[in-house]
Amino acid sequence: MSTDNGSETRNFLEQIIEDDLRTGRVKKVATRFPPEPNGYLHIGHAKSICLNFGLARKYKGTCNLRFDDTNPTTEEVEYVESIKEDVRWLGFDWEGREYYASDYFEKLHDWAVKMIRDGNAYVDSQSEEEIASSRGNFYKKGTESPFRNRTVEENLDLFARMRAGEFPAGSHVLRARIDMQSGNMNLRDPIMYRIVHASHHRTRDRFCIYPMYDWAHGQSDAIEGITHSICTLEFENHRALYDWFAKATGVEDPPHQHEFARLNLTYTVMSKRILLRLVKDGLVTGWDDPRMPTISGMRRRGYPPEAIRRFCDQIGVAKNESMVDVALLEHCVRERLNEMAPRYMGVLRPLRLVIENMPDDHEEMLKCPLHPEDPSLGFRMVPFSRVVYVEREDFREDPPKKWHRLAPGKEVRLRYACLVTVKDVIKDSRGEVVEIRCTWDPLSAGGNAPDGRKVRGTLHWVSAGNFVDADVRLYDRLFTRENPLDLAEGESFTDFLNPASMERIDGCKLEPALARVTGHVQLERLGYFIVDPIDSGPGRPVLNRTVSLRDSWAKIEKAMDME
């Protein structure tokens, strides 16, 4: 199934390709990733990218990046640029084969003229509503337009004048002349061109007629010599139309289309229309909001590209729709970060802990490994002194049973430093604990009990004399419902936005080595984090938590194993 882990089972696309290579239908595999530049890419697109570029790589073929930019009113250069950045970041290279459907507008136009000449296309002057209603539906056959039998000359003249800008939008369209009775709705004389008086991000004002997606898409694949046009299942019924267009225009050796199931993820919305709405309505901070399922959001959140590729590899490709548990994606992120992220300590909600029997001027530099399993990452020096910050949550004045952390009389380990025992707590006038007073065992350097006595709790901490201030953001799922688009009458997906999807904690304390870090880190016991590239100020990092350390997928897998 996979390209990355060397496993030998082949998915259905790999089988098709290997057959095509063996029988000689195809000499060299040519795929493409064909986004419409009307939004930022999301994790669903990542699946398509990994698939198309992955197959090309595996079979030593090529994969084009082609923008299907047929709709001037929704498309923008900003989207083109973001798509290129995201594909590159995911680790794929189109090696200069960056194409645009709009590059083919002239060619498509010439083909349309040929189709008119051959009686395969006509100008329809019905209104939009008339065209829609005469199309019928699944139960009702369509009816032919009164303009369907215009002469070739009249059609050529009208089409030329459409292009010349003589008509207002909506007055005429060019339609393929196929079959209004067809059981396949896509074949009921689909519209090929409509008049749109709008400037295009590439062709500017050269055209005021624009090809419909279905007309441009398959023909663009044909122009580029794509051998395997891979797309999602909703295009299955469009295949007959693409084949018809190829035939009508005399394309030799047309591409073969193969459909796979799109990625659906729990607690996640992947429709660009809805993502755009979240952005436009200010429900998130932008396309790259770390809670967004966009590639740019995930990058900012700290998801490594290898983790996304690994995830796409693991879910595989299939012919039937399914819903993937978002916990699997988070698991892949955690797995990758566990391998690569150096470990540090940081305290989110600091509480002072004073070691009473330590001299005031005690100042030590502890040599601590950056990764417990990977010595090649080396060490960092962690200052340790008489006053440290510990996590407020790690202290309970009145602890439950089996509490191994700080509580009156309890002994715990300060990671890498020593063992301390709580002697006293100091409260402010409102009764809130502001300081914990402890004593240490001077023989417990490094955190080891000198007599081998058992100390269960190990806590992270930061020296109060030497630290970096930081603000931290913790994230949770953006939606509270597993399928936020499975809506009952009167419900809106916005009803299921998670009000707790972002928690901002200011005034966190980090160990000083973190002042210089820019990549991924693990803060021990708290999760994996990355410095936010946009909101961090000089000397004041903002850290995004990529994922916590709790792996709910591992639990699910374990439960499945036990069944």
Instruction: Show the CA angle centred on residue 476, arms to residues 470 and 477, nearest 5°.
Output: 150
Task: Determine the interface stretch with ligand ATP among 39-47, 192-200, 331-339, 543-551 (rule: CB under 6 A).
Answer: 39-47
Q: Compute the CA torsion angle 74, 75, 79, 83 (nearest 10 deg).
A: 110
Of 58, 114, 262, 352, which one is the catalytic site residue? 262
Q: Is 36 an annotated catalytic residue?
A: yes
Task: Determine the interface stretch with ligand ATP among 32-40, 118-126, 309-317, 458-466 (rule: CB under 6 A).
Answer: 32-40
Q: Which is nearer to ligand ATP, 44 or 255 (CB)?
A: 44
Site string for ligand ATP, 212-231 (x = CB under 6 A): -------------------x
Q: Which is nearer to ligand ATP, 230 or 436 (CB)?
A: 230
Is there binding between residue 238 and ligand ATP (CB under 6 A)? no
Rg (Cα) of the chain, in Å, rounded?
A: 31
Q: Which is nearer to ligand ATP, 173 or 230 (CB)?
A: 230
Site string for ligand ATP, 47-86 (x = CB under 6 A): xx--------------------------------------
Cβ proximity of 266 and 326 under 8 Å: yes
Which one among 29, 30, 35, 461 touches ligand ATP, defined by CB under 6 A? Answer: 35
Which one among 271, 322, 448, 494 touches ligand ATP, defined by CB under 6 A? Answer: 271
> Which tokens go with 515?
């002042």
CB of 447 to ligand ATP, least distance (A): 48
CB of 36 to ligand ATP, least distance (A): 4
Contacts of 561 (CB under 8 A, 6+ apart): none
DSSP assignment string, 469-535: EEEEEEE--SBSSSSTT---TT--GGGGB-TTSEEEEEEEEE-GGGGG--SEEEETTTEEEEE-TTT
CA distance 227 to 26: 7
Is there binding between residue 31 and ligand ATP (CB under 6 A)? no
Q: Which is nearer to ligand ATP, 191 or 485 (CB)?
A: 485
Task: Determine the interface stretch with ligand ATP among 33-41, 132-140, 421-429, 508-516 (rule: CB under 6 A).
Answer: 33-41
Question: Three-state SS for 436?
Answer: strand
CB of 242 to ligand ATP, least distance (A): 13
Is there binding between residue 272 and ligand ATP (CB under 6 A)? yes
Which one among 3, 11, 232, 237 touches ligand ATP, defined by CB under 6 A? Answer: 232
Nearest to ligand ATP by Cβ — which residue?
44
CB of 47 to ligand ATP, least distance (A): 4
Q: Is 262 an annotated catalytic residue?
A: yes
Which one among 13, 17, 34, 142 touches ligand ATP, defined by CB under 6 A? Answer: 34
Among candidate residues 561, 512, 513, 522, the one with its CA nearest the CA of residue 543: 522
How far is residue 199 from each of residues 104, 196, 202, 391, measured CA to CA in Å? 17, 9, 8, 57
Of 36, 224, 391, 411, which one is the catalytic site residue? 36
- For ligand ATP, how many residues bind (rule: CB under 6 A)? 15
CB of 367 to ligand ATP, least distance (A): 47
Q: What residue type is assigned to position 533 of the chain?
A: P
CB of 554 to ligand ATP, least distance (A): 25
Is there binding between residue 386 and ligand ATP (CB under 6 A)? no
Of 150, 177, 202, 272, which one is the catalytic site residue? 272
Which one among 114, 262, 352, 404 touches ligand ATP, defined by CB under 6 A? Answer: 262
CA distance 322 to 317: 11
Q: Which is nearer to ligand ATP, 231 or 278 (CB)?
A: 231
- Burial grade of 63 (CB within 10 A; 0-12, 13-18, 19 or more): buried
CA distance 76 to 74: 7
Cβ proximity of 245 and 305 under 8 Å: no
Would the CA dihedral through 405, 407, 411, 417 be positive or negative?
Answer: positive
108-137 residues in contact with ligand ATP (CB under 6 A) are none
DSSP assignment string, 178-223: S-TT-SSGGGSS-EEEEE----BTTTBTS-SEEE-HHHHHHHHHHH
**Rama region for 147: left / alpha / beta (φ>0; ψ in -120 to 50; rest):** alpha
CA distance 510 to 534: 19
Q: Is 78 an annotated catalytic residue?
A: no
Task: Determine the interface stretch with ligand ATP among 34-42, 316-324, 369-377, 536-544 (rule: CB under 6 A).
Answer: 34-42
Q: Write out 338-361 in H/E/C secondary structure.
A: HHHCCEECEECCEEEEEECCCCCC
Given the rule CB under 6 A, which residues bind ligand ATP?
Answer: 34-36, 44-45, 47-48, 231-232, 262-263, 270-273
Catalytic residue annotation: 36, 262, 272
